[in-house]
């Protein structure tokens, strides 16, 4: 009986056993984890140091960066796994690198050191696609922060078109050595919606920044286009510790909002009448308009300004502030009361603030001029046959025998251009009141026995706006002068003596 040939009958099993034995022998060799061709070795990371506050791209060179090839069941192309992993590890801390990628020559790995490492020295560990790992002790140093930092701010984060703003940039060297080849880049202004500002003035910047030194510089701009602006600034220099070029940027851009043009108020003041009577009120109306597309304005005060003998309220604002948006109009009203006959001008002072810029907004209010008139009342004394004209509504009854006939016209205040005093005379002999605008005629009346009683206000010597002629009549039968704004005589017995002057009608 021939013995079976075990070696020939079990070739696949024999191949498997030899492979397993070889793997066991390899793993049993002292130091084979780092020295075997199947394990990553001779590891070098570049750069060897980086700041822990930012992501740091690195390159890892070495050997043993192996791939795994797998034959799919059922045939077909081999599947090649090139994935590698890498870690930085120190006592109590281990962080995996991001985006570890194997180069085509299988001698280099590119990766990224994530931010947030604690300052210190780290061992580098690389794992290839076979799952084998190799380590380089003390390969990388995490530095706490860059030796210098940049901060920035603006004096007006919200501005109007045409308004000035200042960007202040501060660079602080917190390291123990001087920063060489120092440059502070011109700020970069970006916008996603058209916001813009024009550079007006830029500062000089030194080429070195001493240890512990703080540098502050200002850039001046004028806002030119409405929108949002993001400002970034970069500082460059050479790290005195590592000798590497270092870039320090703002933690976040400085944001500025440029609004439409500043608030611009225009005013229009009007009065319910420019010829009030004594004791009557004048309603003042002020329209304040803000220019279209302008920033809003907060009106904080509207203060009436009056002349003598016109009493106005201290303020015309019920509540403060009153906001006027761009293109909008707000109306303010108040009432001034005439206390005596006078010529006057009424105006107002407006206090307002640009809501965006916080600056004062001014507007010139053109005043409204007017005259406080006095009403002339007519009285009749049938016994003496005399018409009496007076500014006092109750003077007639005080003079025996006079009966009131009501208001008939109005007189101008003293000093009104184009007017003169309307003089009054009395003759007890004739029982007649005589009125004239002519001093010479008055002197003639005195020569006839009349006595001067002053004047009852001013009368126009020629037509004035809104005026009407005052006709004078004479009744010789009863020795009575009669004055009326009617064109016809009250009675055929009265003969016209022409125009005595010009008055304002009543009412």
Cα(454)–Cα(437) distance, integer angstroms: 11
What is the rounded distance in angstroms from the CA atom of residue 284 to the CA atom of residue 336? 7
224, 259, 294: which is the final residue of a domain? 259
Pairwise CA distance, residues 389 & 503, whole Å: 13
Q: Which two tokens stand for residue 336?
A: 């001034």
If one counts every other C-beta atom within 10 angstroms of the C-beta of residue 246, the result is: 21
pLDDT band at 489 (very low <50, low <70, confident <90, very high): confident
Asked if 455 contacts 407 with a C-beta cutoff of 8 angstroms, the reply is no
pLDDT band at 24 (very low <50, low <70, confident <90, very high): very low
Per-residue pLDDT band at 30 (split at 50, 70, 90): very low
| Cα within 13 Å of Cα(201), Cβ side | 9
Same domain, 239 and 290: no
* Residue 489 token pair: 């005589």
Q: Are residues 341 and 366 in the same domain?
A: yes
Same domain, yes or no, for 279 and 174?
Answer: no
- pLDDT at residue 240, rounded to an integer: 78
**Is residue 12, in this structure, part of any structural domain at all?**
no
CA 327, CA 295: separation in Å to the nearest integer? 9
Domain, as residue range, for 485: 374-505
CA 259, distance to chain mean position in Å, is: 7
Q: What is the pLDDT of residues 435-450, one digit of tens each?
A: 999 999 999 999 999 9
Q: Tell me: do 199 and 322 sit in the same domain.
A: no
The alpha carbon dihedral of 331, 336, 342, 345 has a sign of negative
Distance CA 334, CA 349 (A): 13
C-beta separation of 457 from 376 below 8 A:
yes
> Which CATH number covers residue 132?
2.60.40.10
Percent of the residues in the chain that have a pLDDT greater than 90, as a whole number:
72
Same domain, 346 and 469: no
- Per-residue pLDDT, averaged over 254-270, amounts to 93
Q: Once rounded to an integer, what is the mean pLDDT over residues 453-479? A: 97
User: What element of type H or E holds 12?
Assistant: helix 11-28
Q: Check residues 239 and 237 and name the one with the higher pLDDT.
A: 237
Mean pLDDT, the chain, integer: 89
The whole-angstrom separation of Cα 424 and Cα 455 is: 5
pLDDT tens by residue, 153-186: 999 999 999 999 999 999 999 877 889 999 999 9
- Establish if 25 belongs to a structural domain: no
Which pLDDT score, from 0 to 100, does residue 147 have? Answer: 78
| One domain, residues 379 and 497 | yes
| Helix H or strand E encompassing 443 | helix 439-447
Residue 179 gets which letter from DSSP? B
**Do 113 and 97 meet the contact criterion of CB atoms below 8 Å apart?**
yes
Choose among 182, 144, 154: nearest CA to 253.
154
Q: What angle do CA 138, 144, 147 make, to 5 degrees?
A: 115
Cβ(494)–Cβ(482) below 8 Å: yes
Tokens in use for 276?
A: 């009030």
Q: Output the pLDDT for position 396.
A: 59
Say what the pTM is: 0.57
| pLDDT higher than threshold 50 for residue 6 | no
pLDDT in tens, 364-377: 999 999 999 999 99
Instruction: Inform me whether the pLDDT recorded for 127 exceeds 70.
Output: yes
User: Are residue 226 and residue 270 in the same domain, yes or no?
Assistant: no
pLDDT at 176: 74
Phi, psi of 313 (to 5 degrees): -65, 155
How far is it between the farthest Cα atoms of the chain?
188
46 and 131 share a domain? yes
Is the Cβ–Cβ distance between 481 and 435 less than 8 Å? yes
- Does some domain include residue 467? yes
Question: 100: helix, coil or strand?
Answer: strand
Residue 151 predicted with pLDDT over 80: yes
User: What is the pLDDT at residue 55?
Assistant: 85
Q: What is the pLDDT of residue 399?
A: 61
Please, how many CA atoms are within 13 Å of residue 498, restricted to the half-sphere of its CB? 6
Cβ atoms of residues 481 and 434 within 8 Å: yes
Residue 148: predicted pLDDT: 84
- Residue-level pLDDT at 25: 33
Same domain, 272 and 249: no
Note the pLDDT of residue 397.
59
Cβ-count burial 114-127 (b if 16+ within 10 Å, e if not): beebeebebbbbbb
Confidence of residue 507 (pLDDT cuts 50, 70, 90): confident
Indicate whether 2 belongs to any domain: no
pLDDT tens figures, 326-338: 999 999 999 999 9
**Whether 342 contacts 305, CB under 8 Å:** no
Residue positions counted in the chain: 507
Per-residue pLDDT of 182-229, as tens digits, reads 999 999 999 999 999 999 999 999 999 998 999 999 999 999 999 999
Nearest to 67 by CA among 58, 59, 79: 79
Identify the pLDDT of residue 420: 98
For residue 216, what are its two tokens?
């502050």
Check if the beta carbon of residue 194 is closer than 8 Å to that of residue 257.
no
26 pLDDT above the threshold of 50 = no
Q: Is residue 393 part of a domain?
A: yes
**Beta partners for 249?**
234
The pLDDT, as a whole number, for residue 395 is 67
Residues 335, 237: one domain? no
Question: Structurally, how many domains does the chain consist of?
Answer: 4
Return the top range by mean pLDDT from 22-26, 34-38, 57-61, 68-72. 57-61
Q: 225: closest CA among 254, 200, 256, 194?
A: 194
Q: 429 pLDDT band (50/70/90 cuts)?
A: very high
- Domain annotation covers residue 84: yes
Tell me which of 333, 348, 372 is where a domain ends.
372
Q: Taking residues 119-132, what's their average pLDDT?
A: 95
Who has greater pLDDT, 500 or 116? 500
Residues 315 and 424 in one domain: no
Q: Could you tell me if 146 and 236 are in contact, meaning their C-beta atoms sit under 8 angstroms apart?
A: no
In a domain, 10, yes or no: no
Q: What is the pLDDT of residue 472?
A: 98
pLDDT band at residue 116, thresholds of 50, 70 and 90? confident
Query: Quick one: pLDDT at residue 9?
Result: 36
Residue 384 in this model has a pLDDT that exceeds 80? yes
Domain boundary among 259, 282, 314: 259
Residue 356 shares a structural domain with residue 386:
no
């Amino acid at each position: 009986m021939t013995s079976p040939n075990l070696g020939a009958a079990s070739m696949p099993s024999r191949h498997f056993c030899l492979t397993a034995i070889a793997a066991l022998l390899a793993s049993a060799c002292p130091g084979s984890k780092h020295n075997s061709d199947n394990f990553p070795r001779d590891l070098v990371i570049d750069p060897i140091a980086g700041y822990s506050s930012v992501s740091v791209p690195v390159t890892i060179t070495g050997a043993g960066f192996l791939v795994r090839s797998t034959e799919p069941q059922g045939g077909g192309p081999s599947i090649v796994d090139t994935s590698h992993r890498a870690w930085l590890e120190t006592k109590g801390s281990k962080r995996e690198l991001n985006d570890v990628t194997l180069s085509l020559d299988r001698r280099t790995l590119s990766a990224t050191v994530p931010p947030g490492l604690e300052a210190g020295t780290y061992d580098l560990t690389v794992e290839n696609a076979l799952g084998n790992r190799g380590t380089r002790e003390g390969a990388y140093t995490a530095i706490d922060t860059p030796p210098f930092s940049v901060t920035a701010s603006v004096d007006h984060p919200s501005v109007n078109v045409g308004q000035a703003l200042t960007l202040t940039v501060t660079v602080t060297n917190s390291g123990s050595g001087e920063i060489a080849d120092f440059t502070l880049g011109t700020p970069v202004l970006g916008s996603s919606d058209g916001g813009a500002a024009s550079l007006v003035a830029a500062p000089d910047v030194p080429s070195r920044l001493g240890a512990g030194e703080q540098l502050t510089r200002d850039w001046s701009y004028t806002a030119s286009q409405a929108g949002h602006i993001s400002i970034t600034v970069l500082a460059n220099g050479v790290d005195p510790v590592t000798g590497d070029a270092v870039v320090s940027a703002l933690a976040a851009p400085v944001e500025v909002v440029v609004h439409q043009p500043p608030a611009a108020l225009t005013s229009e003041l009007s009065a319910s009448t420019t010829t009030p009577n004594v004791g009557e009120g004048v309603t003042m109306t002020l329209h304040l308009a803000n220019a279209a597309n302008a920033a809003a304005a907060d009106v904080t005060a509207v203060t009436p300004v009056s002349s003598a003998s016109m009493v106005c309220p201290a303020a015309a604002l019920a509540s403060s502030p009153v906001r006027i948006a761009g293109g909008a109009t707000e109306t303010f009203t108040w009432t001034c009361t005439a206390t005596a006959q006078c010529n006057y001008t009424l105006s107002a002072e407006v206090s307002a603030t640009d809501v965006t810029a916080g600056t004062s907004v001014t507007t010139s209010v053109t005043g409204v001029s007017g005259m406080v008139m006095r009403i002339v009342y007519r009285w009749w004394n049938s016994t003496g046959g005399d018409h009496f004209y007076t500014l006092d509504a109750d003077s007639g009854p005080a003079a025996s025998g006079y009966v009131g006939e009501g208001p008939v016209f109005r007189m101008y205040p003293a000093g009104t251009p184009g007017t003169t005093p309307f003089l009054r005379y009395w003759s007890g002999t004739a029982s007649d009141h005589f009125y004239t605008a002519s001093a010479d005629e008055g002197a003639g009346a005195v020569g006839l026995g009349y006595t001067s009683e002053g004047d009852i206000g001013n009368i126009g010597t020629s037509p004035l706006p809104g005026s009407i002629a005052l006709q004078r009549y004479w009744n010789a039968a009863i020795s009575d002068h009669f004055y009326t704004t009617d064109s016809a005589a009250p009675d055929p017995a009265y003969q016209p003596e022409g125009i005595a002057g010009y008055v304002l009608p009543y009412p």
